[in-house]
Amino acid sequence: MLEICEIFGPTIQGEGKLIGTPSVFIRFGKCNFSCAGFQVEYETPSGTKKYACDSYYAVDKEFKDSWVKYQSYSDVVNDVDKYSYIDSIDVYLKEYDENGNDVRIIEFYSTTEIPKDSGMFGYPTQIIYKADAALDINHTYQLFVYNPYTKNMACNEKPVALAGKPRISESLTKTTIAIPENSMNMKFFTGVNTTKYLLRIWFYYSEDLIDNTSRQPNPILWTLGTVSDNSATANIEKNLTISSGSDFFKRIASEVKEDPNVYRRRTDFLVYEIYSAAIDWDLYVQSTFPSTGLNQNKLYYSNLKAYNTETGEEKHVMGFVSSRAILMRQYGDLAYPATRDSLMHGRFTKHLKFTDSY
């Protein structure tokens, strides 16, 4: 016997690893979590007022008479199959100028062909809705998600500002990048409306094989860390101190495997990335960071609202609307001689046959 308190959708997943994916949700009864942190006030069928999570009707057994009883999983699947997934959601972005006047509407289209890229919002799932448009850092934006079948609309309550792109310091504008085995400082300047930064380096390399062919394996990612800036203003110099650049060479050693068919390896180039995330992203992540136990006493944050466009009835919605920016800088090689020597002759990577020969 399966007790289901509701099936709803189609909608868009607003959190977790499948964020952005068209979904139909099945909410089971008898939830065993105790999420007091949400502090939603509700009234039971008997008239008792309580505080609990937003899904109290799936937790509180006083609502059990409203739960639908299914005899098997196949019965549930048959009901879910009645929901339409394809082209069931309209997504568009409304742009406003500095004075709050309408500028344009940017329509999104669905796609399953473009892999979701990496970064702060990166997951191994795919982008489902995409728009090709140049946005204005001085303008604000409001995202609308509309279900034409249910007439339900979700959008951010107020237009949000875009995350500004950071810029790197002069010391990092050379054609090569130095990564010492001891501590190092990665300096950059902040972007407007941004509170969190993620710094990473990609290492691209090629392998020459004994059969006179070459190949380029997947690049190696070294995540340096994150930096916060609660002021959310532009052009403030920030610094991320890396305790040991040796971690870069250890990362290469862990990813590159010895292969008797490879007689040498060559550095192709490196890419330094700084992702910047807007204020709403930081607030949402802080409030939804997973708890370690069943009693999830945490804050709840969302900048969304939802309503039925015909009746005006308010609807429940989870998730948030935010933005990110990315600064990318490509370097032709590691700095010579120190960093190159560490790669070719250092204790972590000397066995991997990296060379200066091209």
Tell whether 205 and 335 lie within a shared domain: yes
In 3-state terms, what secondary structure has residue 137? coil
**Sequence-ordered alpha helix ranges (H) in 122-257:** 246-255
Tell whether 51 and 101 lie within a shared domain: no
Reference 205, options 214, 194, 193, 196; nearest CA is 214
Whether residue 265 is predicted with pLDDT greater than 70 in this model: the reply is: yes
Tell whether 286 and 340 lie within a shared domain: no
Last residue of a domain, one of 30, 51, 80: 80
In 3-state terms, what secondary structure has residue 352? helix
Specify if 357 maps to a domain. Answer: no
Tell whether 142 and 94 lie within a shared domain: yes
Specify if 358 maps to a domain. Answer: no
Tell whether 274 and 344 lie within a shared domain: yes
Tell whether 233 and 347 lie within a shared domain: yes
* pLDDT tier, 84 (very low <50, low <70, confident <90, very high otherwise): low
Tell whether 274 and 241 lie within a shared domain: yes
Last residue of a domain, one of 31, 58, 80: 80
What number is the average pLDDT over the span 204-219? 95
Tell whether 216 and 331 lie within a shared domain: yes
Specify if 242 maps to a domain. Answer: yes
Whether residue 124 is predicted with pLDDT greater than 60 in this model: the reply is: no
Query: pLDDT tens digit string along 127-141?
Result: 578 889 999 999 999
- For position 256, what pLDDT does the model report? 96
Last residue of a domain, one of 13, 45, 80: 80
For 261, counting Cβ atoms within 10 Å of its Cβ (0-12 exposed, 13-18 middle, 19+ buried), the class is exposed
Whether residue 62 is predicted with pLDDT greater than 50 in this model: the reply is: yes
Quote the CA–CA distance of 212 and 208 in Å, as a whole number. Answer: 7
Specify if 150 maps to a domain. Answer: yes
Reference 276, options 209, 211, 349, 189; nearest CA is 189
What number is the average pLDDT over the span 226-253? 92
Lowest mean pLDDT among 179-188, 245-254, 257-266: 179-188
**Is the pTM of the predicted complex or chain greater than 0.85?**
no
Specify if 188 maps to a domain. Answer: yes
What number is the average pLDDT over the span 71-95? 80
- Dihedral pair phi/psi, residue 286, rounded to 5°: -60, -40
**How high does pLDDT run on average in the chain?**
84
Reference 290, options 35, 116, 19, 72; nearest CA is 35
In the chain, what percentage of residues exceed pLDDT 70?
Answer: 84
- How far are the Cα atoms of 26, 180, 266, 356 from residue 334, in angstroms, in the given order? 52, 10, 11, 11
User: What is the count of structural domains for the chain?
Assistant: 3
Tell whether 174 and 264 lie within a shared domain: yes
- For position 78, what pLDDT does the model report? 83
Residue 234: HSE in the Cβ half-sphere, 13 Å Cα cutoff:
11
Specify if 148 maps to a domain. Answer: yes
DSSP structure class, residue 89:
-
Structure tokens at 145: 């998600």
Handedness of CA 285, 286, 287, 292 (dihedral sign): positive
Domain that holds residue 149: 90-162+280-323
Specify if 305 maps to a domain. Answer: yes
Specify if 36 maps to a domain. Answer: yes
Quote the CA–CA distance of 198 and 227 in Å, as a whole number. Answer: 7
Tell whether 214 and 343 lie within a shared domain: yes
Tell whether 333 and 312 lie within a shared domain: no
Tell whether 145 and 260 lie within a shared domain: no
